[in-house]
Amino acid sequence: MKTAALGKGLKTLFSEQEVHLESSESTETRIVSITDIILNKNQPRKLFNEQEIEELKNSIIRHGLLTPILVQKVDDKYQIIAGERRYRAVKAADLKEILVRVIPPKTEEEILEISLIENIQRQDLNAVEIGEALYILTKKYKLTHEKVAEALSINRVSVTNFIRLNELPEEIKESIREKKINFGAAKAILRVESDADKIDVTRKAIANKWSVRDIEEYVKKLKTPKVKTEKKVMDVFYKNIEDKLRVTFNTKVTLTKLKDKGRIEIEYYNDEDLERILGVIQ
């Protein structure tokens, strides 16, 4: 069986390759009791937008569930492989039954793979969730990036880039989940060496509404050695003071010593951030 190809956005993300879920195995569509459904612990999707579920619930009340959720039989229950958002909407609508498509039993690895494909095709996952799921495939199930790319019919470089998102500080991951920055921006930020500088670039990008190109240009300048007109003292004493100030103000602080005086620079990224820093000083 061959499902619909990716939407335009994800096709671009995956180098215009189509992702298909193929199976020669027999499946069966049936209506089952909502109480017979159990959740999938390997569900790659972690965030569910309540407004989207409410809208889907209203649509289901008016038109019914047009697309069955994908399940497998586990004892006398049906475990969700893909379609948890539809299940939540049906449950929210207080319906007693749900349309399911039952497939033959799968291993945990196969379930995660199928769930990934189904969610990706529906564009239901953010980049962090995709990265976390791909990481599990490579670490828990010992699959190479090439094998994952082959199994999901996507570009190997895309697999590697998604997995690398796991290296980002949690603040940046949260910005991706909240759609404050996109996958392209995250890839550019990954080129920055230290976590502190990664966060600094991310905050500036969000505050100034930078495009991916803007971020790439900034990162390029950041990595280019600068001709110094002032000598910055980096001995242990001054470095410790600089580090303490960064922790205190939770932002980038630069301590520069000139010939017979010095300068402390405290960066802020918007008016709200400035008020926060002033609060710390007061």
Instruction: Tell me the two tokens of residue 79.
Output: 């475990």
- Asked if 40 and 117 sit in the same domain, the reply is yes
pLDDT band at 11 (very low <50, low <70, confident <90, very high): very low
Parent domain of 271: 236-281
- Asked if 23 and 156 sit in the same domain, the reply is yes
What are residue 63's DSSP bridge partners? none
Q: How far apart are CA 225 and CA 47, in angstroms?
A: 41
- Asked if 219 and 258 sit in the same domain, the reply is no
Percent of the chain with pLDDT over 90: 28
- Asked if 144 and 58 sit in the same domain, the reply is yes
Average pLDDT score, the chain: 80
- Asked if 80 and 183 sit in the same domain, the reply is no
Residue that the structure tokens 């470089």 belong to: 157
274 lies in a domain? yes
- Asked if 262 and 200 sit in the same domain, the reply is no
2 lies in a domain? no
Sign of CA dihedral 216, 217, 222, 225: positive
Sequence-distant (6+) residues with CB within 8 A of 241 are 255
* pLDDT above 70: residue 212: yes
DSSP strands (E only) in 8-146: 28-33, 37-38, 69-74, 77-82, 97-103
* pLDDT above 50: residue 208: yes
* pLDDT above 80: residue 257: no
14 lies in a domain? yes
More confidently predicted of 111 and 30: 30
Residue pair 42/111 in contact (Cβ under 8 Å)? The answer is: yes
265 lies in a domain? yes
The H or E element containing residue 99 is: strand 97-103
Sequence-distant (6+) residues with CB within 8 A of 188 are 212, 215, 216, 219
Start-to-end CA span in the chain (Å): 65
228 lies in a domain? no
What is the count of structural domains for the chain? Answer: 3
- Asked if 259 and 175 sit in the same domain, the reply is no
| Burial of 22 from C-beta contacts in 10 A (0-12 / 13-18 / 19+) | exposed
229 lies in a domain? no
pLDDT tens digit sequence for 143-200: 889 888 887 777 889 889 999 999 999 999 999 988 899 999 999 999 998 999 999 9
pLDDT tens digit sequence for 235-253: 677 788 888 888 888 888 8
Q: Is the pTM of this model over 0.75?
A: no
